[in-house]
Structure 1
Amino acid sequence: MDRPALKNKTEVEALRPNGDKATVYWDAEITGFGVRVSPGREQETKVGGTLKKVRKPSYTFFYQGRINREVFKVTLGTLGRLGFTAKNAADKAREIEAQLRLGQDPRKAKATDSHTTTFGDMMTAYVEMLQSAGKISARNVENAIKKDIASAFPKLWNKPAQDIDIDDCVRIIAKLNDEGSPRQADKLRSYMKAAFTAAINARGNVKAPKVMREMRLILNPVSVIQKVSGSSNASDRALSVAEFRAYWKRIKELPEPRRSIAMLHVLTGGQRMQQLARVTLADIDRDSMMMRMSDGKGRRAKPRLYSVPLLPQALECINNSTGSGRYVFSSNGGLSPMHPSYISDIAADVCTAMAEAGELEGEAFTGKVIRATIETRLMKAPYRVSSDVLARLLSHGLGGVQAKHYAHDAMHEEVVEALEKLWRLLENQPEPSAQVYQLRASA
Structure 2
Amino acid sequence: MKAQSNRDRLTLARIDAFQCPPGKQQVFLRDTLSPRLAVRATQGGKAFVFEGTLDGKLIRITLGDCRDWPLESTWSGKGANRKEIQRGARQEAARLQSMVDQGIDPREAEREQKAARAAKRAEQERVRKEAEARAKHTTRALLEAYSRHLEAKGKRASAAATRTMFERHVFTPFPEVADKPARDVAPLEIAAIVRRVMEKGKERTAGALRSYLSAAYNAAARAPFDARLPSDLIPFAVEVNPVQPIAAIPVKPRDRTLTPDELRAYMNGLGDELADQALRLALYAGGQRIAQLLRARVEDWSPDTKTMRLFDAKGRRQTPREHLLPLAPKAAAMVSDLVTRAKEQDAPHLFFQRRRRMDAGTPGKRLAEIAAAMGGEPFTVADVRRTCETLLAGMGISREIRAQLLSHGLAGVQVAHYDRHSYADEKRRALAKWERRLAAIAAEKPAKVVNIRGGK
- The two structures have a TM-score, normalised by structure 1, of 0.61
Cα distance in 1 for partners of 2:237, 2:278 equals 50
Cα distance in 2 for partners of 1:111, 1:200 equals 18
Cα distance in 1 for partners of 2:183, 2:316 equals 25
What pairs with 1:43-442 in structure 2 (closer than 5 Å)?
Answer: 109-110=128-129, 114=133, 117-136=137-156, 137-206=158-227, 208-228=229-249, 232-251=251-270, 254-255=271-272, 257=274, 260-322=277-339, 323=341, 324-325=344-345, 326=347, 329-330=350-351, 335-352=355-372, 354-355=374-375, 363-380=377-394, 383-399=395-411, 402=415, 409=421, 411-428=423-440
Contact 2:295 2:357 (8 Å CA) reproduced: yes
Quote the offset at 1:222 in angstroms: 1.2
Instruction: Return the index of the structure with the highest Cα Rg.
Output: 2
Contact 1:115 1:214 (8 Å CA) reproduced: no
The 1:335–1:110 alpha-carbon spacing in structure 2 relative to 1, beyond 3 Å, is same
Cα distance in 2 for partners of 1:297, 1:259 equals 24
Quote the offset at 1:283 in angstroms: 0.5
Residue segments in structure 2 that go unaligned for 5+ positions in a row: 1-120, 442-456
* Secondary structure of the structure 2 residue equivalent to 1:201: helix
Cα distance in 2 for partners of 1:350, 1:157 equals 38
Contact 2:276 2:366 (8 Å CA) reproduced: no
The 1:107–1:281 alpha-carbon spacing in structure 2 relative to 1, beyond 3 Å, is farther
One-letter code aligned to 1:268? A
Looking at secondary structure, tell me which structure has more helix per residue.
Answer: 2
Q: How many residues align?
A: 314
Quote the offset at 1:265 in angstroms: 1.9
Cα distance in 2 for partners of 1:142, 1:342 equals 17
Quote the offset at 1:106 in angstroms: 8.6
Cα distance in 1 for partners of 2:145, 2:368 equals 38
Contact 1:295 1:304 (8 Å CA) reproduced: yes
Contact 2:403 2:410 (8 Å CA) reproduced: yes
Quote the offset at 1:399 in angstroms: 4.1
Match of 2:94 in 1: none
The 1:185–1:243 alpha-carbon spacing in structure 2 relative to 1, beyond 3 Å, is closer
One-letter code aligned to 1:144? M
* Secondary structure of the structure 2 residue equivalent to 1:305: strand
Quote the offset at 1:417 in angstroms: 1.3
Residue segments in structure 1 that go unaligned for 5+ positions in a row: 1-101, 356-361, 430-443
The 1:167–1:419 alpha-carbon spacing in structure 2 relative to 1, beyond 3 Å, is same
The 1:208–1:347 alpha-carbon spacing in structure 2 relative to 1, beyond 3 Å, is closer
One-letter code aligned to 1:128? R
One-letter code aligned to 2:332? L
Identity of aligned residues (%): 30
* Secondary structure of the structure 1 residue equivalent to 2:356: coil
* Secondary structure of the structure 2 residue equivalent to 1:291: strand
* Secondary structure of the structure 2 residue equivalent to 1:427: helix
* Alpha-carbon displacement from aligned partner over 1:358-415 (angstroms, at most 9, x marks no partner): xxxx6243333221111111111xx211111111111113249848998x73632111
The 1:158–1:343 alpha-carbon spacing in structure 2 relative to 1, beyond 3 Å, is closer
Quote the offset at 1:419 in angstroms: 0.8
Quote the offset at 1:270 in angstroms: 1.6
* Alpha-carbon displacement from aligned partner over 1:154-190 (angstroms, at most 9, x marks no partner): 2222333333222111011111222333333222211
* Alpha-carbon displacement from aligned partner over 1:293-319 (angstroms, at most 9, x marks no partner): 112222223322211111122221123
* Alpha-carbon displacement from aligned partner over 1:75-116 (angstroms, at most 9, x marks no partner): xxxxxxxxxxxxxxxxxxxxxxxxxxx9x9999943685477
Quote the offset at 1:200 in angstroms: 1.5
Contact 2:298 2:350 (8 Å CA) reproduced: no
Q: Please, what is the CA RMSD of the aligned residues? A: 3.5
Contact 2:303 2:336 (8 Å CA) reproduced: no
* Secondary structure of the structure 1 residue equivalent to 2:248: coil
* Alpha-carbon displacement from aligned partner over 1:19-59 (angstroms, at most 9, x marks no partner): xxxxxxxxxxxxxxxxxxxxxxxxxxxxxxxxxxxxxxxxx
